[in-house]
Structure 1
């Protein structure tokens, strides 16, 4: 999704109204209860600070605080954390672990196939339904390498063991990862 993300991909960058910012915060809090319950969301996105939203040419929107990208949303209003946020708070979303063979494909932006999640080196840490945002880890690695959206439930991934299991949204070294600040 963000392979070529940069200033030239942004069609609009505006400060949102306080009511829209509240809506974004509440959506993120509903999707990631860990952030809301632990008070982390108030630290990441203080209520008094302005929220800026960048709209991309691929119909994504990225929420910025202090010119730093924190979360992004797809057309279906799923909010996803950037990998930098996920590295700070790794328990905020369900986790799936790929085998070593899938690493180079994931880091090049490919979707994750079911065999990469069900092979002996892979682990399905959390049971999830289709359409759930998940963190993607690699075998023998500590930090997440990608964020994606499941296309089928984890039970179906095990049962069918073919096809795309996770649609990749954001991965290490893509354009969003390289965007440290908007300035």
Structure 2
């Protein structure tokens, strides 16, 4: 289901300057307001922030050699699964009904009937193109 990731796919690692680090931090704070109380713990100002460039235009944000966020082609920053399991409430959540689960796990898009039928949950405050959990 998930593609294995190996260190051979990393083409370059760069420790970013303080100005770029502030920009990444500000972008993450705007995208995930639920991380505000723990943002200083996750992205400390004094520790080195490394951006690893990978194949397929994937960028990983590493703090102390731990990947926390990624983005594709300068898109929005997405939390890694490890970070999402640590802090599950940082993103808005959608819930599909039982009938849609096997199709979603197989890679299908989520459609309105799977969210609006009994068993599904839809948060109407989510704007278009917003990443959800």
Specify the TM-score bucket, using the shorter chain as the normaliser. Answer: 0.7 to 0.9
Do the aligned partners of 1:11 and 1:56 also contact (CA within 8 Å) in 2?
yes
1:103 aligns with 101
Matching residue of 1:49: 47
More strand by share: 1
Unaligned runs of 5+ in 1: 136-183
Higher helix share: 2
**Do the aligned partners of residues 118 and 9 (structure 1) sit closer, same or farther apart at CA in structure 2, a change above 3 Å counting?**
farther
Q: Which moved more, 1:65-74 or 1:5-14?
A: 5-14
User: Structure 2: where are the runs of 5+ without partners?
Assistant: none
Instruction: Please name the residue that 1:113 is paired with.
Output: 110
Q: Which structure 2 residues correspond to residues 140-151 of structure 1 after superposition, within 5 A? A: none
Match of 2:12 in 1: 12
Q: Deviations over 1:43-83 (max 9, x none)?
A: 01100000111122121211011111101112243011112
Is structure 2 residue 96 aligned with structure 1 residue 91? Answer: no
Asked whether the equivalents of residues 102 and 112 of structure 1 are also in contact (C-alpha less than 8 Å), the reply is no
Which stretch of structure 1 is more off in the superposition, 69-78 or 111-120? Answer: 111-120
Q: What RMSD, in angstroms, separates the aligned Cα atoms of the two structures?
A: 2.0
1:158 alignment counterpart? none
